[in-house]
Amino acid sequence: MGVRRFAATLAVTLAAGALTVVPAQARAQDQAPDRTSGTANCTAAACHFDVPPGTYDVKVLLGGEDAARTAIGGESRRALLPETATAAGERIARSFTVDVRTPEGEPTGPDGSPGLDLTIGGSAPALAGIRVTPARHARQIILVGDSTVCDQPGEPYSGWGQQLPRYLRKGLSVANHADSGDSTVSYLADQRLWGTVRSRIHPGDLVLVQLAHNDKTTDEATYRANLQTLVAGVRERGGRPVLVTPVVRRWFNADGTLNNDTALLVNGLGVDHPAVVRSVAAAEDVPLIDLTAKTKALVESLGVEGSKALYLYDEKRDNTHTSAHGATVYAGLVRDGLVDQHLVPRGAVRAGLSPAAGSASGTGAGRSGG
């Protein structure tokens, strides 16, 4: 459906601070409640759709009488659409695909609210219309990981998996099953984690695995075997495993390079986690996104001061967990890896922040296609 036709189906009014909508051809009192379309489901800052768990396509119409900059988030603080600029009087349609499930955030966290919850953000938001429909041909990108990946429940924390959806167009959904504090050992042992993930893999789905930060006491043989178990389990379900080396920690040597142990995830037993991940990927013929190498190069290039904005150093003196800005930049590196490895088509992703660009807010405004 084109932008003009989409806009013509909606008659939008703003009253008492809330957006409402009725079909252009009928009166509101003649219509049954519509739970899947229209800004009647929205206030000025949020929308709620009473839908069951599943995968949904969302189409939004952005813009208003004045120039606007609108971003869409949803569920457990996921970034679903980057801030998009519209000129005064302009309307732009954008679409994305979203995973709705319980729990809606971390798999071992609270259930959250039922249905689909979206937030309307940006520096000058304007939402003119919205429609939610079941996704019929979506491909899942399932994430298995730890606190550097997960949907973090509260500010100022953000995992890169929480920001990855903003880079994906309609037809690709992110099902983030990463969980804070988990190692390869605990992830495999918890039915809420690996047991749930395996049951939700469909043929052709991508399953990205980044587990290492919490394998501090895992010996090399066990760590290697656990990665192999994860790879085999994905393949048994018809999915495609992708191994991801862990993001670095921000611990510098005096010469401006990152510390070989803490920063580069070599544990107390001498296990070089990124090296083992690379080895398993080669041995099992699994695509590899070397996020350790990418984040190391970036952090070292920014230096001691410049790299602080990627992490929660200023807020929490935390050199492991990323800020929203850092998570957005690191998610962009994952996006690039997916494209470079030909795991997703280039046309299926959105442009966004380059690693050295953007503000600490990580909004990544743009007008790139729908």
Per-residue pLDDT in tens (0 to 9) along the chain, 370 residues: 443 333 333 323 222 233 323 222 222 223 334 456 678 899 999 999 999 999 999 999 999 999 999 999 999 999 999 999 999 999 999 999 999 999 999 999 999 999 999 999 999 999 999 999 999 989 999 999 999 999 999 999 999 999 999 999 999 999 999 999 999 999 999 999 999 999 999 999 999 999 999 999 999 999 999 999 999 999 999 999 999 999 999 999 999 999 999 999 999 999 999 999 999 999 999 999 999 999 999 999 999 999 999 999 999 999 999 999 999 999 999 999 999 999 999 999 998 764 544 433 333 444 445 6
Q: In angstroms, rounded to a whole number, what is the distance separating the alpha carbons of residues 59 and 37?
A: 9
Beta-carbon-side half-sphere exposure of residue 36 (alpha carbons within 13 Å): 9
Q: Nearest Cα to 211, choosing from 291, 303, 331, 102?
A: 291
- What is 138-357's CATH number? 3.40.50.1110
Question: According to DSSP H, which parts of the chain are helical?
Answer: 3-8, 160-163, 184-189, 196-200, 220-236, 273-284, 291-306, 313-316, 324-340
Contact 77, 157 (CB under 8 A): no
| Domain range annotation of the chain | 9-25+35-136, 138-357
> What pLDDT score was predicted for residue 146?
98
**According to the model, what pLDDT value does residue 348 have?**
97
pTM for this prediction:
0.88
Nearest to 127 by CA among 12, 32, 230: 12
> Roughly what angle, to the nearest 10 degrees, separates helices 273-284 and 220-236?
40
Output the pLDDT for position 352. 73
| Paired tokens of 337 | 């890896």
Question: What pLDDT is attached to residue 38?
Answer: 78
Cβ within 8 Å of residue 275, ≥6 positions away? none
Query: What are the beta bridge partners of residue 69?
Result: 85, 124
The neighbouring-strand residues paired with 71 are 121
Q: 136 Cβ partners below 8 Å, 6+ apart?
A: none
pLDDT at 351: 86
pLDDT score, position 366: 47
Which two structure tokens, joined as six digits, stand for 262?
């803490």
Q: Is 220 exposed, middle or buried (0-12, 13-18, 19+ CB in 10 A)?
A: middle
DSSP for 118-173, please give it: EEEEEEE--EEEEEEEE-SS-EEEEEEE-TTTS--SSTT---HHHHGGGGB-TTEE
Q: Give residue 24's pLDDT.
A: 25
Round to the nearest angstrom and report the end-to-end CA distance of the chain.
12
User: Whole-angstrom Cα distance, residue 16 to residue 29?
Assistant: 19
User: Domain 9-25+35-136 carries which CATH code?
Assistant: 2.60.120
